[in-house]
Structure 1
Amino acid sequence: MKILIITLDKVKTKTLKQEMLQLGIKTRIITPQETDEAWITQYRMVYIHASISGENYEHSIRAVRHLSWDIPFILHSIPTQEIHNAFLIPATSNAFTLAQTIRDIAKRPRENKITKIKYKDLTLDPDRRTIRRESKEEKLRNKEFNIIEILMMNPGRTVTKTELTEILWDRNTTMLSNTLQVHMSSLRRKIDKGFHKKLIHTVPCVGYRLEE
């Protein structure tokens, strides 16, 4: 389980990060300015720290919702914009208490059904873990699903190999040099094989891009 923390006070938030790690929850800490580039779909929830207020607060919520309409929020105050799937909690300076509260909320079952992700004639079904292009449907392995989900959430943008590796594999994991390439080859067979227009493109020495 991973939680994204948006904060302006990285010193205090590092203490929270340590407490949450003790509870078995991984976190990533970013600032409001970094929200637009965050890979929202890899996180279970988004927690907006009490250090954020005003325009930074509203911007963070808008940016997250632009990337994912249903990911849950944990907030300390009610935003001016209407928002669903949000949990309000009291502010506290006790990092351990806060970590426990976030953990308890994150473990609740999600009520909202995950929606399908679409790009052109490509449809990704998170519930069934399948990818469909026109009438061709294929089952996806976990890493294949994660890779194509990231590409479909960022159409037209080159996602670097470094970004994919850092997101999908633990730093302590030993990887073969061609591991990512093997997954991409499998995705190409499942998505592009049999179609004149290719959707997955390689940017030499950089990464991959989903584009018609």
Structure 2
Amino acid sequence: MRILLVEDEKKLASFIEKGLQQEGYNVSVSHSGSTALEMAASHKFDLILLDIMIPGQNGFEVLKSLREFSIETPIIFISALNESEHIVKGLDLGAVDYIKKPFDFEELKARVRNVQRKFMNSRISVLRLEQLEIDLIQREVTREGKPIELSKREFSLLELLMRNANRSISKSEIIEKIWDVNFDMGSNVVEVHMHQLRKKVDRGFTKELIETKIGYGYRIKGELSKL
């Protein structure tokens, strides 16, 4: 899940960014309304966490501009403006949620998961391919009934592969959807993570599901079921 965090308080932004990254989310940060609009227009995000009192355009104006450009990314307002009039305005403008500062980080994570269930999974909670099963809600993976322990980043990689089963996914597409927009293309971190993922998913089983397309990327092959 790719999240754009728009927050001008840099310490708070760093705290939220690190916390969400530890949960396996791909987080990009903007400290102003104008930069947020540029990023949302040039990159596809699954969720925008948007402060209201930010430099440039305020959060309300950013939301209006996004909708004018037909960018329908779900938005959660995060703001110290906690009067009912501000909450009502934010929701009436089309935000899916409104979190008051200060907030409990566990609450923020729960609200992000709620958006993920409503807008990303399209009521699909389990992906199954050749006895490899990934539970998108519980974030658990099994193969032939045996649990497979994955890191949060490995889970995101496997989910991406399974959602695109039998289609080769390039390294650049993986970086765009799993890592930050400022990722160093010269790094071998994708290869390292994919090597670890293949060891965990395929080692010890008769059939290898994940394959490397030399010079291009990776794919997982098999018949996919969505439950």
Distance 2:209 2:125 in 1: 18
Please give the alpha-carbon distance, in whole angstroms, between the structure 2 residues aligned to 1:180 and 1:174. 11
Matched, 1:43 2:46: yes
Residue 33 of structure 2 is matched in structure 1 by 19
TM-score when normalising by structure 1: 0.53
Retained in 1: the 8 A contact 2:202–2:208?
A: yes
**2:156 aligned with 1:146, yes or no?**
yes
User: Is contact 1:201–1:208 with CA below 8 Å preserved after alignment?
Assistant: yes
What residue identity is the alignment partner of 2:67? H
> SS state of the match for residue 41, structure 2?
strand
Taking structure 2 as the reference length, the TM-score comes to 0.50
Residue pairs, 1:24-103, within 5 angstroms: 28-29=40-41, 43-44=46-47, 49-52=67-70, 73=74, 89-90=92-93, 101=95
Displacement of 1:197: 2.0
Residues in 1 aligned to 2:191 and 2:165: alpha-carbon distance in whole angstroms: 19
Matched, 1:117 2:126: yes
Q: CA deviation at 1:103?
A: 7.3
Tell me the distance in 1 between the aligned counterparts of 2:97 and 2:32.
13
- 1:129–1:145 Cα contact (<8 Å) kept: yes
Tell me how far 1:202 sits from its aligned partner: 0.8
- Distance across 1 between alignment mates of 2:116 and 2:219: 28
Cα separation, 2, equivalents of 1:142 and 1:27 = 24
| Whole-Å separation in 1 of the counterparts to 2:47 and 2:210 | 27
Deviation at 1:174? 5.2
Match in the other structure for 1:7 = none
C-alpha contact 2:91 2:98 (8 A) present in aligned 1: no
Q: How many residues align?
A: 152
Letter in 2 for 1:163: E
RMSD over aligned CA atoms reads 4.3
Q: Distance in 2 between matches of 1:149 and 1:102?
A: 25
In the alignment, the residues of structure 2 paired with residue 44 and residue 89 of structure 1 have an alpha-carbon distance, to the nearest angstrom, of 18
The CA distance in 1 between the partners of 2:38 and 2:135, in whole Å, is 26
Residues 159, 208 of structure 1: 8 Å contact kept: yes
Unaligned ranges ≥5, structure 1: 4-16, 32-37, 53-59, 62-71, 75-86, 92-100
Compare relative contact order (CA 8 Å, sep 6+) and give the higher one, 1 or 2. Answer: 2
Percent identical pairs in the alignment equals 29
2:207 and 2:149 map into 1 onto residues whose CA distance is 21
Name structure 2 gaps, 5 residues minimum.
5-30, 49-62, 76-89, 100-107, 118-123, 223-227
CA displacement at 1:113 relative to structure 2: 8.4
Work out the CA distance in 1 between the residues paired with 2:144 and 2:74: 34
